[in-house]
Amino acid sequence: MAYFRYFRIALSSILAWITIAQADEVHVAVGANFASPMKLIAAEFEKETGHKIVLSYGTVGKFYAQIKNGAPFEVLVSSDQETPDKLVADGLALETTRRTYAIGRLVLWSAKPGFVDPNGEVLKKGEFRHLAIANPKLAVYGAAAQETLKRMGLWETLAPRIVQAENITQAHQFVASGNAELGFVALSQVIDRDGRINTGSHWLVPADLYPRLRQDVIVLARGRHNPAAAALVDYLVGSKARAIIKSYGYGLE
């Protein structure tokens, strides 16, 4: 019995060593809207595969410029499809690795209960001083907010009240802190794991008011030979990751 117990311990040690020896580290750029689900997904991915993820969050517009200038990212978890398009055209990403992992949703949110009505009429009434949106030139959710206001015929009217944030995280911070009474943010930023928005007040923007927010993940040229990069892309479109993504209010392909 002692022999078999020793054998099992030795075998476990050998398997653990093999797992560590085969583990790789991958540097990942993540669109700011996807920060919360990505933290959970990364933890599960590391636990299951032994690979290590180094995460950076920001706007995809800035990531594009950084990648072109040699930033050491190996995977881009993008907020859009246009940025992967450009990176592929530039020879900086691998088209064959590309996957759509989520469909984003836009919400008008205020930290004040009762401030935003369920139909978004608060925008037409204009009884507020500041409306936060992410920079439309850098952030896809900012561009979606701009398009929403244009389709509602309110862009020019509300332009003087708009406070532009660098990214969707900062837009959320402006509203959460009260520096802006309301703002357009990603649904994933205000929803809990049970699918409820329990803080403030909101209007879930109808999908026909802005372009479909398909979000793609892609392996970058620097990650071409990194097994962890390919493994992460596969994991993001797998059942466990999809369950987490869906719980944060995203749609799925």
* 153 shares a domain with 126: yes
Which residue, chain included where needed, has tokens 């390919």? 230
* 92 shares a domain with 46: yes
* 118 shares a domain with 52: no
In a domain, residue 237? The reply is: yes
What's the pTM?
0.82
* 112 shares a domain with 50: no
Q: What is the CATH number for 183?
A: 3.40.190.10
CA nearest neighbour of 172 among 122, 111, 215, 251: 111
| Burial of 42 from C-beta contacts in 10 A (0-12 / 13-18 / 19+) | buried
Q: pLDDT band for position 14 (50/70/90)? A: very low
- What are the tens digits of pLDDT across the range 201-231? 999 999 999 999 999 999 999 999 999 999 9
| Number of domains making up the chain | 2
Q: Report the pLDDT averaged over residues 116-139.
A: 95
HEC string of 150-176 equals HHCCCHHHHHHHEEEECCHHHHHHHHH
In a domain, residue 253? The reply is: no
- What are the tens digits of pLDDT across the range 146-174? 999 999 999 999 999 999 999 899 999 99
In a domain, residue 163? The reply is: yes
* 125 shares a domain with 89: no
Percent of residues, the chain, with pLDDT higher than 90:
83
Domain that holds residue 31: 23-103+213-247
* 198 shares a domain with 222: no
